[in-house]
Chains A and B, each alone.
Chain A
Amino acid sequence: MNRDSLLAQIGWVCAALGLALFLTILVAWPAGAPPFETIYVLFKGGVSSMSKIGRVLAGWVPLTLCAVGLLVPFTARLWNIGVEGQVIMGAIFCTAALRPYDEGGALQIALAIGAAMLGGALWALLAGCLRVFGRVHEIFSGLGLNFVALGVTLWLIFGPWKRPGVASMSGTQPLDMSLWLPRLGKLSVSWVGLALAIAATIFVYILLYRTKWGLKMRAVGENPKAATLFSLGPRRRLLQAFMICGALAGLAGATQVLGVYHRLLPAISSNYGYTALLVGMMASFRLPLVPFICLFFASLNVGSIQLPLQLGLDSSLSGVIQGVMVLSLFIVQGLRLWLRQRKEAD
């Protein structure tokens, strides 16, 4: 890959984007969507006003937290698909920590954030233990635990934590205003959340590229057998990697509860965990790209809310575009590989 010039690399990325655009139009056409108007609405919907930019940033925070967290286990070639469930667990622990308080301040919020990180980390540890000691593939353990976490949420909302009188999908009793994360001006995003997401990105960068721990972790990823021989302790390290990812996912859950919804509800994770996996693949798990792709994906999500209102289309088109983009990237990568192999064969 290194032999290609910068120009060629940009060319390939453009080819991937072009393919993604073509495929999007192709799949949107049977739904009767006017292609260019749809894309215009989608892109404009995320940037047309300050309040929308605020909403994009509010989505960027949990998405970035999950996506940079995912890089840690992926460095050892582990897919933490359970990140979705870890977000939910974080949200549950966060809500649990705040239940005794009718109102509060910075201390209670800090406590709730700590609890959320603990919840996410424990849920990730469970998936990690199943992987390391039970040899259950992390895709199945993670996925199963996602659904279990959802089940726990539903049980809490309809059972012990139901609102007085009514239990409904709209969630638990809303938190008192004093327990909300402080907002950034009039925008719907909190500066605390933004600061946490940026801090998490820097933390993961330092951890992976500037510490011995990160170096050993990458060694485990490159060659687990050699890592065992040099006693780099893959088992313990893998569990640690899972827990760090889980803690960051839990943090994302806390920002959802404290900053966005101010209560626990079934859709608390907003699919950010799965989207974060797409972000990771889109960035080929290169950290510097992650925050920007997160920003783009978050703006697509906000823009898609306009689709049902303006064009009568389903808002899941944003997910379609995100998937198509990552798929196109893989197709183009594969074509590159294929062309190079053919050249070498000649």
Chain B
Amino acid sequence: METFGLTLAAILVAGSPLVLATLGETLTEKAGIINLSLDGSILLSAMAAFVVSVTFDNPWIGLLAGMAVGAAIAGVLGIIGIYLGQSQLAVGFILTLLCRDLAYFLGHNYSRQPGPDLGLWSIPGIGDVPLIGPIFGSQSPVVYLGLVAIFVCWWWMYRTEGGMRLRAVGESPRAAFGRGIRVRLVRLYYCLAGGALIGMAGAAYSLAVKPGWGRPQGCEGAGWIALAIVIFGGWHPVRAALGAFFFAGLQVSGIYLQEVFPSIPAPVFQVAPFPMMILTLLAVNLGRMGWMQDIVRRHPFLKTFSKGWSIEAPAALGQDFDPKKGL
């Protein structure tokens, strides 16, 4: 029982940065912008967060610095993609490579140095409760940040007027424009907000989950997984968060599997999420195909399953909108 609780706690920690990054990307993509720079953004903000916390000897300033860096990268992407009409995918990909190299270049002197981390928060009174105690009683602050972020994102997206505007610019920018919403500006705002969450994910890696900076830091590749989880999660914050924890579970179980199969070298388990990512995308996309839907129609009992499967991307995802061209 205790091992079970500890495993769940480990999954929560490993999944928190993924949750934050996934939520950030979900927010961005809901507004119709694809931020492909995730992997580099996470690495650069991880570096910035660590260096700033070492400099000021305060991890919380580092966390803010990470968020600022993430937002700044998203801002570059947003301005070039939204206002200068360049391909979001191309710019995002360039930024991924650029930020990764920039992180290694600027972080060179801070490699393998000791530095502060966010430590653990204990919630009094919960620690002794069976099962919940080991999971939630004493956890890294990023776990709580991640859990709060899930709720806030869901609430903002589906329960507020701002969230309505967010979904409007992603689903139907022309209609939104007709209702007097400044589409490009709203998109830029959510691009920045999403970038800040992605930056927080980077900071969560270098200050809590894998404390420290080095080459490699250990969070390489996480951004790509997060991008895939957004699709897996059907652009819904809660489902995306569940997806993030599912993939974190895979990573954690890799550690156990390694004990079972000692002959397989450790690095192999680190790439395990990627074939899983492809398979989940395949499964999600197959469900949307015509012949699959025919089968579902012929066998009504499958319908209950297919409801959970069917997901739609924001209709205007990746398309630019030029208000001057009018309605």
A contact residues around B263 at 8 Å (CB): 159
* A288, B87: Cα distance in complex, Å: 23
Q: Smallest CB–CB gap between B121 and chain A, Å?
A: 32
Is B327 close to A, CB under 8 A?
no
Interface centre among A145, A147, A337, A341 (most CB of B within 10 A): A147
Which residue of chain B lies nearest to A324 when distances are taken between CB atoms in the complex? B98
The complex places the Cα of A130 from the Cα of B275 at a distance, in Å, of 12
**Main DSSP-derived SS at the A contact region:** helix
Convert B74-117 into 0s and 1s, putting 1 for each residue whose CB lies closer than 8 angstroms to a CB of A: 00100010011110011101110110111011111100000000
Query: Interface SS of chain B: helix, strand, loop or mixed?
Result: helix
Chain A proximity mask over B124-152: 1 for CB below 8 Å, otherwise 0? 00000000000000000000000000000
CB–CB A134/B105 < 8 A? no
Which residues does chain A contribute within 8 Å of B91, judged by CB atoms?
Answer: 327, 330
Determine the chain B residues whose CB is within 8 A of the CB of A151 once the complex forms: 267-268, 270-272, 274
* Complex: A145 Cα to B265 Cα, angstroms: 19
Q: Closest CB-CB distance, B247 to chain A, in whole Å?
A: 12
Q: Which of A141, A144, A154, A281 contacts B90 (CB 8 A)?
A: A281
Chain B residues, CB < 8 A from A320: 98, 101-102, 105
Question: Chain A residues near B288 (CB, 8 Å)?
Answer: 135
Quote the shortest CB–CB distance from A252 to chain B (angstroms). Answer: 18
Contacts of B94 in A (CB 8 A): 278, 281, 323, 326-327, 330
Is B185 among interface residues, defined by CB-CB distance under 8 A? Answer: no
Q: How far is the CA of A317 from the CA of B107 in the complex (A)?
A: 12
Residues of A within 8 A of B (CB-CB), count: 52
Is B298 an interface residue when CB atoms closer than 8 A count as contact?
Answer: no
Q: Which chain A residues lie closer than 8 Å to B107 at the CB level?
A: 314
Indicate the member of B76, B106, B286, B288 with the most A CB atoms within 10 Å.
B106
| Cβ–Cβ contact B324 & A140, under 8 A | no
A136 B278 Cβ-Cβ under 8 A: yes
CA distance A130 to B274 in the complex (A): 14
Does chain B have a CB within 8 A of A22? no
Please give me the residue from chain A that is nearest to B286 by CB atom: A134
B-side contacts of A323, CB under 8 Å: 94-95, 97-98, 101-102
Most buried by A among B90, B95, B278: B278
Least CB distance from B85 to A in Å reads 5
- Docked complex: B243-288 residues within 8 A CB-CB of A: 263-265, 267-268, 270-272, 274-275, 277-278, 281-282, 285-286, 288
Is there an interface contact between A338 and B106, defined as CB atoms closer than 8 Å? no
Q: How far is the CB of A309 from chain B (nearest CB, A)?
A: 13
B228 CB within 8 Å of chain A? yes
Q: Any chain B CB within 8 A of the CB of A150?
A: yes
Please give, as numbers and ranges, the residues of chain A lying within 8 Å of B209 by CB-CB distance: none
| Residues 204-247 of chain B, each 1 if its beta carbon lies under 8 Å from chain A, else 0 | 00000000000000000100100110010000000000000000
Assess the A145–B278 pair: CB atoms within 8 A.
yes
Knowing A155-B268, A314-B105, say if A319 contacts B278 (CB, 8 Å). Answer: no
B52 to chain A, nearest CB (A): 12
A173 within 8 Å of B by Cβ? no
Those of A116-137 within 8 Å (CB) of chain B = 130, 134-137
Is B289 in the interface zone, CB < 8 Å from A? yes
> What A residues does B106 contact at CB under 8 A?
27, 30-31
Contact check, A147 vs B271: say whether CB atoms are below 8 A apart.
yes
Chain B residues whose C-beta falls within 8 Å of the C-beta of A184 in the assembled complex:
none
Whether B324 contacts A333 by the Cβ 8 Å rule is no
Interface status of A208 (Cβ within 8 A of chain B): no
Contacts of B224 in A (CB 8 A): 140, 143-144, 147
Partner of B105 from the list A143, A281, A317, A331 (CB cut-off 8 Å) is A317
B36 lies within 8 A of chain A by Cβ: yes
The answer for the CA separation of A345 and B324 in the assembled complex, in Å, is 9
Residues of A with C-beta under 8 A to B76: 327
Chain A residues whose C-beta falls within 8 Å of the C-beta of B228 in the assembled complex? 140, 144
| Cβ of A43 under 8 Å from chain B | no
Q: Known contacts being A155-B265, A330-B94, A337-B85, is A136 close to B101, with CB within 8 Å?
A: no
Q: Are A27 and B275 in contact (CB under 8 A)?
A: no
Q: List residues of A (297-340) whose CB comes within 8 Å of B's CBs.
A: 313-314, 316-320, 322-324, 326-327, 330-331, 333-335, 337-338
Task: Give min CB distance, A75 to chain B, whole Å.
Answer: 16
Contacts of A345 in B (CB 8 A): 324
Which chain A residues have a beta carbon within 8 Å of chain B's beta carbons?
A: 27-28, 30-31, 79, 81, 130, 134-137, 139-141, 143-145, 147-148, 150-151, 154-155, 158-159, 167, 266, 274, 277-278, 281, 313-314, 316-320, 322-324, 326-327, 330-331, 333-335, 337-338, 341, 345
Q: Could you tell me which B residues sit within 8 Å of A by CB distance?
A: 36, 76, 80, 83-86, 89-91, 93-95, 97-98, 100-102, 104-109, 221, 224, 227-228, 231, 263-265, 267-268, 270-272, 274-275, 277-278, 281-282, 285-286, 288-289, 324
User: Which 9 A-B pairs rank lowest in CB-CB distance, beginning with the nearest?
Assistant: A334-B84, A323-B98, A319-B101, A151-B271, A158-B265, A314-B108, A147-B274, A316-B104, A144-B274
Beyond A28-B105, A319-B105: 18 further Cβ-contacts under 8 Å? Answer: A27-B105, A81-B93, A134-B285, A135-B288, A140-B227, A144-B275, A147-B221, A147-B271, A148-B271, A154-B265, A314-B104, A314-B105, A314-B108, A319-B98, A320-B101, A320-B105, A333-B86, A337-B84
